[in-house]
Amino acid sequence: MPFFENLANAVVLGSIYILMAIGLTMVYGVLKVLHIAHATVYTIGAFVGLVAFTWVGSFWPALGVAMVAAGGVGVLIYRLVYHYMLDAPRTVPLIASVGLFIMLTDLLQKPWLMGPYQRAFPAGGAGLPAIETPLFSLTPKQTLVLVVTALALLGVWLVLTRTRLGLSWQAAAMDREMAAAVGIDLDRAIAYNFFLGSALAGAAGVLVGVYDNIVFATMGNLPSYKAFVIIVLGGMGSLPGTVLAGLLLAVAETFLVATVGFVLPRDAIAFLVLILMLMFRPHGLLGRE
């Protein structure tokens, strides 16, 4: 049935959106900084995943390498940039992040890195099967997206609710100064926060590269805006809100295109939804008033 097929496609698209945005939400929750350069980490993850896949010929090791590399880049960005701006007005790290995003994107286009070319990422469905039901069907690539996203969300939930590190993130999100006063090593906690959030961005980059079978240096340009829309819709810093907003945005895009066609560019729908949300619920779906 078209409804359930569209719904399945929307869930797959929403899963990609969630992986793109959840790391950005984690960083904002602790630092209250819109980490725009997060989109470059997404691109780096895709590129490293492609290189690793070319070497080893297997998707899962390539995904692991890409996530570790993206996490390492995220920690470097924190150590070299944001670490020195923790007490500055929030506009300072925001401007620095925009500049860093532009600089790194231009750097990736150099011939000795990714270059200006598009590269295929022929990993297929990584050995996962297609799913066929009377109501909907999923290709192996779509199954891969759902499996990786489910594992990633489970991992984030376990870290947040079952570890001291997750509790330190929650404490820092509520009040950084008080968290430091009770003995939490904020520098270490923030570095791990950047690592996990950036690793998830790297995973999203790999999945999009495989799903679209293409990787290129500016592939993070659109996600930088789309992820921002999602975290605003979900409520700034709310992880459950990010998950809900990612799914709702994907449903809106999928069903609007399916019912009325391409009256608007698909990606413009996200900004239309954002405008409506800011008009009627400016604090987001699950944000605090």
Domain that holds residue 213: 2-220
- pLDDT tier at 59 (50, 70, 90 boundaries)? very high
Buried b (16+ CB within 10 A) or exposed e, 124-140: ebbebeeeeeeebebbe
In a domain, 108, yes or no: yes
In a domain, 113, yes or no: yes
Query: Residue 252: is its pLDDT beyond 90?
Result: no
In a domain, 247, yes or no: no
In a domain, 283, yes or no: no
Q: Per-residue pLDDT tens for 145-204?
A: 999 999 999 999 999 899 999 889 888 888 888 888 888 888 899 999 999 999 999 999
DSSP per-residue string spanning 222-250: HHHHHHHHHHHHH-TT-HHHHHHHHHHHH
Q: What type of residue sits at position 124?
A: G
Query: Residue 288: is its pLDDT beyond 80?
Result: no
Query: Residue 289: is its pLDDT beyond 60?
Result: no
Q: What number is the average pLDDT over the span 17-37?
A: 87
Would you state the pLDDT for residue 261? 62
Helices and strands (DSSP H and E) totals, the chain: 11, 2
- Of 195, 227, 169, 192, the closest CA to residue 19 belongs to 227
The more confident residue out of 29 and 105 is: 105
In a domain, 154, yes or no: yes
User: Other C-beta atoms within 10 Å of 225: how many?
Assistant: 15
Would you state the pLDDT for residue 42? 94
- pLDDT tier at 34 (50, 70, 90 boundaries)? confident
Query: Residue 283: is its pLDDT beyond 80?
Result: no
Q: Per-residue pLDDT tens for 207-241?
A: 999 999 999 999 988 887 888 888 888 888 788 88
- pLDDT tier at 78 (50, 70, 90 boundaries)? very high
Q: What is the largest CA-CA distance in the chain?
A: 58
In a domain, 269, yes or no: no
Q: What number is the average pLDDT over the span 69-94?
A: 91
In a domain, 276, yes or no: no
For the record, the structure tokens of 177 come out as: 């100064």
In a domain, 145, yes or no: yes
Q: What number is the average pLDDT over the span 3-16?
A: 90
- Judge contact between 5 and 162, C-beta under 8 A: no
Q: What is the pTM of this model?
A: 0.91
* Cα torsion 228, 234, 238, 240: sign: negative
Query: Residue 247: is its pLDDT beyond 70?
Result: yes
266 DSSP assignment: H
Q: Per-residue pLDDT tens for 122-137?
A: 887 778 888 888 888 9
- For the chain, the domain total comes to 1
